[in-house]
Structure 1
Amino acid sequence: MGSVVMRLALTGSIGMGKSTVAKMFERAGVAVFDADAVVRDLQANDPALIFAIGERFPGTVTNGVLDRERLALKVLGFPAELEALEAIVHPAVQSARTHFIEKNRDAPALLFDIPLLFETEGENAFDKIIVVSAPPEIQRERVLSRPGMTAKKLDAILSRQMRDDEKRKRADFVVDTGGDLSTTERQVGDILSCLGIGRGG
């Protein structure tokens, strides 16, 4: 067996540019596990999970299809309801994550894109933590330009997330996405060099 693969966590509040940064790591040969994408996939394609959510949150599933907007209305701003949803979804995500680790055991490093890393106290499972950050006015502008997003919905999401300055303090590395893409790419390159990974895989 080879050496233990380095596990990196990528986190940051909504609208900070995590997806953009994750793609940069992916292009450098780092395998990426996107927790949110996995949840979206499960909620669209896993019949047992969809059924369980429909049972717990009546009115969110029609003909085997989950209405994510309707589900969001039932859980955003209601901590106990959100907890109930996470209890249903979490085991399936864990299973997908185990499969991902197994499948990529020969990668130089694994990057886990986890928006609520600190909020769920998951940081101890990783070797290094990378926080993606941007000035608050840029963050708001990005998020409010998304389809279906409102200031009220954004505030509800932010109320669940640790403050950006607190996340920056806890990070091993910070990627500032407030500038242009080339500046962000340079920061990612610096992190890869520092960790000794990403040199052509």
Structure 2
Amino acid sequence: MRVLGLTGSIGMGKSTTAKLFAEAGVPVYDADATVHKVYEGEAVPAIEAAFPGTTFDGKVDRAKLSAKVVGDAEAIRRLEAIVHPMLRSYHQKFLDDAERSGAPVAVIDVPLLFETGGDKRVDAVVVVTTSPDIQRERILARGTMSSEALDAILARQMPDEEKRKRADFVVDTSHGLDPVRARIHDILDQVVKMPPRRI
């Protein structure tokens, strides 16, 4: 089985691309959804103990937790030491299940794939991209983020140009869904012929 890492900056169309991989019959692991799951389950007691007042009603209050850890490298390390082992077990179970099901390809959807070294744990990387104008338009159209907040997020992410340089495959979402579907089928045809690479 080949494992594809799917990544791309905010507003590039990564979630839609992940859905289209699933539509093509590929098992897809959603890293963000798994974080939500542990923040509503097994991570809650340990996070409350390490960061008192950051949970409410049996769930992590992400805004309060964020206020305590953002900009504090030591706090981020403590949080990661709690959450990462839990996420790894979900990730491994997903890969084991996909392998057992006989899937030729599985997709790991991770927003910060390069930033966290996740590209070493996959056989090939797919970067989802669009033009900076379309990206900004899509995000601001959601009405949940200011232009300044968007700039702050983009400043923390690896630039799109750098991601595209490091990708094995690039998916451009600027022209609607049909070209993306066609590109996904190309990628699936090619990746099964590639040598395995993950560590």
The interval holding the TM-score normalised by the smaller chain is 0.7 to 0.9
1:135 equivalent in structure 2: 131
For residue 183 of structure 1, give the secondary structure of its aligned residue in structure 2: helix
Match of 1:84 among 64, 78, 87: 78
SS in 1 for 2:10: coil
Q: Tell me the distance in 1 between the aligned counterparts of 2:69 and 2:140.
A: 20
TM-score by structure 2 length? 0.86
2:50 is aligned to 56
% identity of equivalent residues: 49
Per the TM alignment, residue 79 of structure 1 is displaced from its structure 2 partner at its CA by 4.3
Counterpart mapping for 1:28-177 below 5 A: 28-44=24-40, 46=41, 48-105=42-99, 106-146=102-142, 148-177=144-173
Structure 1 SS opposite 2:111: coil
- The question of whether the paired residues in 2 share the 8 Å contact of 1:10 and 1:111 is answered with yes
Alignment TM-score, normalising by the size of structure 1: 0.86
CA distance change for structure 1 residues 72 and 155 in 2, over 3 Å: closer, same or farther?
farther
The structure 2 residue matched to 1:186, chosen from 177, 182, 185, is 182
Give the secondary structure class of the aligned counterpart of 2:43: helix
| Residues 55/150 of structure 1: CA separation in 2 closer, same or farther (3 Å cut) | farther
Paired amino acid for 2:112: L
Rounded Cα–Cα distance in structure 2 between residues aligned with 1:90 and 1:177: 31
Q: CA deviation at 1:148?
A: 3.5
Q: What is the root-mean-square deviation of aligned Cα atoms in Å?
A: 1.9
Residue 117 of structure 1 aligns to a residue in which SS? Answer: coil
Amino acid at match of 2:17: V
Aligned-residue offset at 1:84: 3.0
Q: CA deviation at 1:158?
A: 1.9
Q: What are structure 1's unaligned runs of at least 5 residues?
A: none
What is the aligned partner in structure 1 of residue 191 from structure 2?
Answer: 195
Report the CA distance shift for 1:157/1:54 in structure 2 as closer, same or farther (over 3 A): farther
Distance 1:98 1:30 in 2: 16
The secondary structure found in structure 2 opposite 1:186 is: helix
Counterpart-to-counterpart distance in 2, 1:152 and 1:54: 31
In structure 2, the CA distance between the partners of 1:100 and 1:28, relative to structure 1 (3 Å rule), is same
